[in-house]
């Protein structure tokens, strides 16, 4: 057991070095990941395929990444002894969960190369910091966030401009997959939603005339070179990603170029190393609004595993190991379908039964990825299926066939 690492007073940048971290055998080269969810699991698979050993730090004993990692530090993300052990073992550390403490990443950075750095992650962990950052980038990116207002106390509600409603009230911190947010139309609804969120700091965002949503996966290395992936068009249900289609059927070349340019500006201004996903709204008039960033691989980037030369997880390994970034070229049109725990249950039944994966795998373009979660629950992400084909309509036909098999209404 190592001595605990002391917390640093600032959010440190990664240790300065340009040397690549190569896979080794004697002794082995270890990479670390903070978080034990499915993103950590898929990262672990890719890192191991490239010759690395992987350690995961995660407080849950039965977690997707812990099942496959070479070592599992069973501890809270801020545990000083576990952080010391990970820093001593791992040449580089990344994160698969945006709510890992930025301070923990800064602590690890005393002894390991950490990508993304704490200072970069901290921006994504605070919606107001994030919006101020987007606004500061807008001179070069040309894309602004939605009109918004900080709601730090009940008194702030009285000062809400009339043109900010209807809107969406979101907690400033710790929100994802539709959690920590509520649609509001009136001041009374804002007051009730704010009270329901226990009066924590929130941001009110104006609800805009949305046409569709897109996301851009962008990767930057420690050498400041960046690559951008094909733009993805997303459909959400109940705040959770439902499908991702690439190329997006509604995405014009101009919109794709603007979003990709903005993504490259944002990752550069953030001094970010690693995989970053940036979500945008495309409004009915064709204008673009930047919504939020995720400092990690993203659900909407899963299509890269089967449809691109280099997956988002291979890029994550390359960036943190200071290796050259991979080719982002997409070789096949793709549609990704999220698989939630709902498909284990028929109608209103509480009795789980295994979905007909044999019928899914009989579809010629289906690539099934299950995350190893033992207990299916309604609304819980259990896996995804990517359909790749010679044409987008063919991939969409396979999606429709899979939804029919699984009882999912398109």
Instruction: Enumerate residues 6+ apart whose C-beta is below 8 A from 372.
Output: 38, 41, 64, 67, 68
Point out the least confidently predicted range of 83-92, 179-188, 298-307.
Answer: 179-188
Tell me: the pLDDT tens digits for 367-393? Answer: 999 999 989 999 999 999 999 999 999
Q: Distance between CA 99 and CA 295 in Å, rounded?
A: 10
Confidence category of residue 347, pLDDT binned at 50, 70, 90: confident
Domain boundary among 206, 226, 244: 206
pLDDT above 60 for 16: no
Confidence category of residue 11, pLDDT binned at 50, 70, 90: very low
pLDDT above 70 for 91: yes
Tell me: the pLDDT tens digits for 228-284? Answer: 999 999 999 988 999 999 999 999 999 999 999 999 999 999 999 999 999 999 999
Instruction: Mark whether 342 and 232 lie in a shared domain.
Output: yes
pLDDT, greater one: 70 or 15 = 70
Task: Examine residue 52 and state whether it is found in any structural domain, yes or no.
Answer: yes
Task: Examine residue 249 and state whether it is found in any structural domain, yes or no.
Answer: yes
pLDDT of residue 174: 73
Q: What is the mean pLDDT of residues 179-191?
A: 91
CATH number of residue 175's parent domain: 3.30.1490.20
Instruction: Mark whether 329 and 243 lie in a shared domain.
Output: yes
Task: Examine residue 20 and state whether it is found in any structural domain, yes or no.
Answer: no
Instruction: Mark whether 246 and 351 lie in a shared domain.
Output: yes
Instruction: Mark whether 270 and 315 lie in a shared domain.
Output: yes
Instruction: Give per-residue burial for 263-276: e unless 16+ CB within 10 Å, then b.
Output: bbbbbbebebbbbb
Instruction: Mark whether 258 and 402 lie in a shared domain.
Output: yes
pLDDT of residue 4: 65
Q: How many other C-beta atoms are found inside a 10 Å radius of the C-beta of residue 13?
A: 16
Q: Distance between CA 172 and CA 155 in Å, rounded?
A: 17
CATH number of residue 59's parent domain: 3.40.50.20
Run of H or E including 192: helix 187-196
pLDDT above 50 for 13: no
| Mean pLDDT score across all residues of the chain | 94
Task: Examine residue 80 and state whether it is found in any structural domain, yes or no.
Answer: yes
Task: Examine residue 12 and state whether it is found in any structural domain, yes or no.
Answer: no
Instruction: Mark whether 338 and 219 lie in a shared domain.
Output: yes
Read off the pTM: 0.93
Task: Examine residue 6 and state whether it is found in any structural domain, yes or no.
Answer: no
Run of H or E including 187: helix 187-196
Beta-ladder partners of 336: 244, 386
Instruction: Enumerate residues 6+ apart whose C-beta is below 8 A from 46.
Output: 311, 313, 314, 316, 317
Q: What is the mean pLDDT of residues 160-165?
A: 94
Task: Examine residue 3 and state whether it is found in any structural domain, yes or no.
Answer: no
Instruction: Mark whether 47 and 113 lie in a shared domain.
Output: yes
Show the domain range for 75. Answer: 30-124
Instruction: Mark whether 202 and 229 lie in a shared domain.
Output: no
pLDDT of residue 176: 59
Instruction: Mark whether 324 and 309 lie in a shared domain.
Output: yes
Instruction: Mark whether 235 and 285 lie in a shared domain.
Output: yes
Give Rg (Cα) of the chain: 21
Instruction: Mark whether 175 and 119 lie in a shared domain.
Output: no
Q: How many other C-beta atoms are found inside a 10 Å radius of the C-beta of residue 245?
A: 25
Q: Distance between CA 12 and CA 214 in Å, rounded?
A: 32
Instruction: Mark whether 344 and 325 lie in a shared domain.
Output: yes
pLDDT of residue 307: 98
Q: What is the mean pLDDT of residues 25-42?
A: 96
Question: Which of 140, 259, 232, 156 lies closest to 201 in space, CA to CA?
Answer: 156
CATH number of residue 226's parent domain: 3.30.470.20
Burial class (CB in 10 A: 0-12, 13-18, 19+), 150: middle
How many domains is the chain partitioned into structurally?
Answer: 3
Domain boundary among 156, 182, 206: 206
Domain boundary among 71, 92, 124: 124
Q: How many other C-beta atoms are found inside a 10 Å radius of the C-beta of residue 95?
A: 31
Task: Examine residue 22 and state whether it is found in any structural domain, yes or no.
Answer: no
């Amino acid at each position: 057991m190592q001595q605990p690492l002391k917390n640093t007073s600032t959010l440190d940048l990664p240790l300065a070095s340009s040397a690549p971290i190569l896979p080794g055998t004697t002794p082995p080269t270890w990479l670390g990941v903070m978080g034990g969810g499915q993103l950590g699991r898929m990262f672990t698979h890719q890192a191991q395929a490239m010759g690395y050993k992987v350690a995961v730090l995660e407080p849950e004993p039965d977690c997707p990444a812990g099942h496959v990692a070479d070592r599992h530090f069973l501890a809270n993300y801020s545990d000083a002894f576990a952080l010391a052990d990970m820093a001593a073992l791992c040449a580089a550390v990344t994160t698969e969960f945006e709510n890992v403490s930025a301070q923990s990443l800064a602590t690890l950075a005393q002894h390991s190369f950490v990508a993304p750095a704490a200072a970069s992650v901290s921006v994504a962990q605070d919606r107001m910091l994030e919006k101020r950052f987007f606004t500061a980038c807008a001179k070069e990116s040309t894309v602004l966030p939605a009109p918004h207002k900080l709601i730090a106390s009940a008194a702030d509600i009285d000062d809400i401009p009339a043109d900010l409603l209807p809107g969406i009230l979101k907690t400033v911190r710790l929100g994802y997959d539709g959690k920590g947010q509520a649609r509001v139309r009136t001041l009374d609804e804002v007051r009730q939603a704010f009270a329901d969120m226990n009066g924590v700091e929130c941001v009110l965002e104006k609800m805009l005339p949305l046409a569709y949503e897109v996301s851009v996966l962008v990767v930057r290395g420690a050498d400041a070179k960046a690559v951008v992936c094909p733009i993805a068009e997303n459909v959400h249900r109940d705040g959770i990603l439902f499908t991702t289609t690439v190329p997006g059927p509604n995405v014009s070349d101009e919109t794709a170029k603007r979003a990709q340019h903005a993504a490259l500006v944002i990752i550069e201004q953030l001094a970010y190393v690693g995989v970053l996903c940036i979500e945008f709204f495309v409004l009915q008039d064709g204008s673009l609004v930047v919504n939020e960033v995720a400092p990690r691989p993203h659900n909407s980037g899963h299509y890269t595993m089967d449809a691109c030369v280099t997956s988002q997880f291979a890029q994550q390994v390359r960036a943190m190991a200071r290796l050259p970034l991979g080719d982002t070229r997409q070789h096949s049109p793709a549609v990704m379908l999220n698989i939630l725990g709902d498909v284990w249950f028929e109608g209103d039944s509480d009795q789980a039964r295994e979905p007909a994966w044999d019928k899914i795998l009989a579809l010629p373009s289906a690539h099934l990825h299950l995350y190893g979660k033992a207990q299916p629950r309604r609304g819980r992400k259990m896996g995804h299926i990517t359909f790749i084909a010679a044409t987008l309509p063919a991939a969409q036909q396979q999606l429709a066939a899979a939804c029919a098999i699984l009882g999912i209404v398109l």
